[in-house]
Homo-oligomer: A and B are copies of this chain.
Amino acid sequence: MSMIDFILGRTLSSRDERAEQIGPSAGVPIFGLDALSSAAYGPEAALTLLLPLGASGVPYILPVTGCILVLLAILYFSYRQTIAAYPNGGGSYTVARENIGEQAGLLSASALMIDYVLTAAVGISAGVGALVSAVPTLQSHTLAMCLGILFIIMMINLRGIKEAGALFMVPTYLFVGCLFAMIAIGFIKTLAAGGHPVPVEAMPTLPSATTVVSLWILLKVFSSGCTAMTGVEAVSNGVRAFREPTAPNAQRTLTIIIVILAVLLAGIAYLASVYGIGATSPTKNYESVLSMLLRAVSGKGIFYYVSIGSILVVLSLSANTAFADFPRLCRIVALDGYLPLSFSVAGRRLVYTEGIVVLTFLTAGLLILFDGVTDRLIPLYAVGAFLAFTLSQAGMVLHWKRQGSGHWRNIAINGLGSIATGTATIVILSAKFMEGAWVTVILIPIMLFVMILVKRHYAEVEKEISSQVPVDFAHLRAPLVLIPIAVWTKVSDKALRFAYTLSQEVTAIHMTAEPESEQVFEKNWQEFAMRPAEKAALPTPQLVILKSQYRHVLGPIVDYILKVERQNPDRQIAVVLPVLVEHHWYDYFLHNQRPAVLKALLMLRGSQHIVIVNVPWYLSA
């Protein structure tokens, strides 16, 4: 087994694709980690905005969560239908492109791509941040740990989706189990206490109110809570990863994810309101809402620590959803010609290697730029996801309309959904514009523009090189041959022989620095090249000697070749390069790389008439 097989796993045959496909149990950790982990910060974000209302603010979490659950239900039905309608995957991008138009599709794709990069960066740095606040001595290694986790996630994803699913199953289900247990215990205790349970441990007291409730505050609370919904589109982009029957398996996975998420959100909101637990100030004695709920329900025992541990792991693994989806989204966009085609090439483990690697680099760039602390990226987040939601809902409305009448219920659901997600997008944007969401507003159109340019470039190249005429074999003519030769050796001997099989018009170009070496070369040339050609009754090869006072060797040779080309506009010019091929990689440094540089220069400055022939001599030394 080779090293690379050991690290990345053996190469999978295309026929293995079926075996690599997954079912709902692996699908939940792979495509659901992002959505499920957001239960850990969505309610918290909403409660934080209710802080100014004091203790009387906490109960508002119930109606707000109710609205969020309604929106979640709409998104659920909408994406269920999307999966059925577009079993090849693509989610918002495909729906928007096919129903609204190219630009809407690309807008959605750009928004999602930017969002995935942010998800990966924020997820990893949130996990590491939690670890660092638990073990402060690790503080100075924050960035190194972020990059280490990023590297591990990349390697796991390069090994294939099935292994990733198997690996992430345990922490995901542990996380879900712990939170379900917390909600169940809390619910039973509340019932037993007649609706007014007493926390096991003392809770921090809420600050007194500094303002009164208003619609704007509630809208902001709602939009912050909506961050709990990012990641819901993941399954729709990855339908192709599921085993037969593809669409139903994907739908089942989506159902499981949404039901778990809804139970978590409802349960957390309910417990927070009955226990009267609000957020704490992030600057003074901060404690997360989930930590307080766990303490209130069961105290700081083993259960508490296991639950907190699983939350940390799931947060830092939430980045994996981006790794499952980003490459698949890029693949679909690339197949449509808006990104380099190489994004659609399946690698040795049947994953889209280029997408994974590009996502890793972009994420690493963000992590390095922000030194591993990505709090400032959080406002940029969610705008993309909600823009994509809105476009996807609007696309579905048009989709149903085109299916003819009789779909008014679907139209109503998706219409309502698109209005709700659209409103959320606007609220999120305006609430977070100054904090950094403006960056997204600038980046999305740039991405969009680049994708359109890529498509146009491919179309132009296609138009330029497509050929529908027979090859013209009637006017074949041997090329003019030019051979740059520095010293007379077996390598030049071989190149000259090959040149004569190409054409009988052969010219050698010799660059000289010192007069002595010039004389030696001319003598060799006459004796070993010209005289035998005469003897064989072949046209003698010509010799051109170039001199340079600037010690440049290649410039004058390229200039000479281009001059010959200009003087013979109707001829092809074959430049024959004698090349020493080294046996060991370190020999590379011992021999000049002039043939390779000359080739690159000719490719850069040459035109259609120049053909480059490498005649290699394999060193045995």
Contacts and interface: CB of A to CB of B under 8 A. Distances in A.
Interface in A594-621: 599, 603, 606-608, 610-621
Interface in A327-342: 340-342
A529 B471 contact: yes
A345 interface: yes
A457 B587 contact: yes
A343 to B, nearest CB: 10
A502 interface: yes
Interface stretch (A116-124, A288-296, A460-468): A460-468
B618 A607 contact: yes
Nearest to A529: B471
A471 B497 contact: yes
A215 interface: no
Nearest to A460: B621
A491 B592 CA distance: 31
A130 B472 CA distance: 75
Interface in A509-559: 527-529, 531-533, 535-536, 538, 549-552
Nearest to A467: B490
A169 interface: no
A580 interface: yes
A335 to B, nearest CB: 13
A464 B478 CA distance: 32
A498 interface: yes
A568 interface: no
Given A471-B532, A612-B613, A614-B611, A619 B464 contact: yes
Interface in A464-518: 464-474, 476-479, 488-494, 496-498, 500-503
B491 A476 contact: no
Contacts of A342: 592
Interface residues of A, number: 86
Given A11-B550, A467-B528, A471-B533, A476 B500 contact: yes
Contacts of A490: 464-467
Given A465-B490, A471-B529, A490-B467, A614 B599 contact: yes
A536 B474 contact: yes
A13 B460 contact: no
A103 interface: no
A12 B552 CA distance: 11
A596 to B, nearest CB: 10
Given A465-B491, A532-B471, A616-B608, A550 B498 contact: no
A589 interface: yes
Given A457-B590, A619-B464, A501 B500 contact: no
A15 interface: yes
A620 B464 CA distance: 8
Contacts of A591: 461
A527 B592 contact: no
Contact of A616 (B527, B529, B603, B619): B603
A346 interface: yes
Given A476-B500, A550-B11, A603 B581 contact: yes
A191 to B, nearest CB: 58
A86 interface: no
Contacts of A469: 493, 528
Given A471-B496, A599-B614, 13 more contacts: A340-B589, A454-B590, A460-B621, A461-B591, A461-B621, A465-B490, A465-B580, A471-B493, A473-B500, A498-B611, A501-B572, A603-B616, A613-B614
Interface of A: 11-15, 340-342, 345-346, 348, 454, 457-458, 460-461, 463-474, 476-479, 488-494, 496-498, 500-503, 527-529, 531-533, 535-536, 538, 549-552, 572, 574, 579-581, 587, 589-592, 599, 603, 606-608, 610-621
The 10 closest A-B pairs by CB, nearest first: A460-B621, A473-B536, A470-B532, A465-B489, A467-B490, A612-B614, A13-B549, A465-B490, A613-B613, A470-B528
